[in-house]
Structure 1
Amino acid sequence: MSLYDIEVTTIDGRRERLEAYRGQVLLIVNVASECGFTPQYEGLEALYRQYAADGFAVLGFPCDQFGHQEPGDEATIRDFCSTRYSVSFPMFAKIEVNGPHAHPLYRYLKAERGGLLGRRIKWNFTKFLVDRNGRVVQRYAPTVKPEKIAEDLPAYLQAR
């Protein structure tokens, strides 16, 4: 199985395969609206706007597994992201990232790039960088700001 075989649900309820993002550099992030790291939405959106034309996308996956920091439904999350942070990058339905009900995407990402807690996500705003070939090439802790990730992007965006 590859990353592109995984099916996800958009925040608007449409099912799609990650195949739709083949050939792009991706930053996949588990997000939450009431987290201390929530202001990172601003930096994530800035990255997306700066590099989208070069084949880059941020994919946001809301998760309520950490301190009940994403209590809203998809409509509430979508409205919050668009009105508070002008998010235009793709957002998806709320998922679990740890435990027996972890979404297949996060099972895949954690298997490819373990972290300090092994195959667990530590907190909201853990980020995975995926190259144009679907390889998970970096994992960033929640404390790593999008501006720091911007330093890594040119090398992956230039590779074809």
Structure 2
Amino acid sequence: VGHSFGTAAMSYVMRSTPQAIAAAVFVEPVVFLLTRPEVSLGFLFSPDAETDPILDTLRSDPGIAFSMRRRFWWQEAVLFAEDIKCATTVFLASRDGIVPSDKVKTYLQGSTNPRIASPEMFDGFGHGEWEYDEPSVARVVVAAMSSRDAIFTRKP
């Protein structure tokens, strides 16, 4: 399970050692369509900073700011639908100011990769807001537990 920037680590493992992953859950993933400018611009320069104090704190943290502005190599984090080799669930927020959710949803739905379930939406939520809504958290937990079950039914 990876959320937001944490999906970059998942992307790396998925591409470098796909046999190590039985199933995956991406929540508000930044790795799909990472070649589009709105992803990095959405995090680094979004006007939502004035209305989202948590996002403002994250983006102004010295370590995160340094990582995003000086150490983030999009070509190492990007994940294309054809790179997914395991059962995958994706959750997107309908009002996400970082991830272009509608475009990611369209991209994943247009994929011919049978391992990708149709993306699920957190309707009415901005980036990270699902974490404060019990039913939304429950949806992610159910997906994660279902993914865990895939480990025991996976064929070598």
- TM-score w.r.t. structure 2 length? 0.32
- TM-score w.r.t. structure 1 length? 0.31
* Structure with more helix by fraction: 2
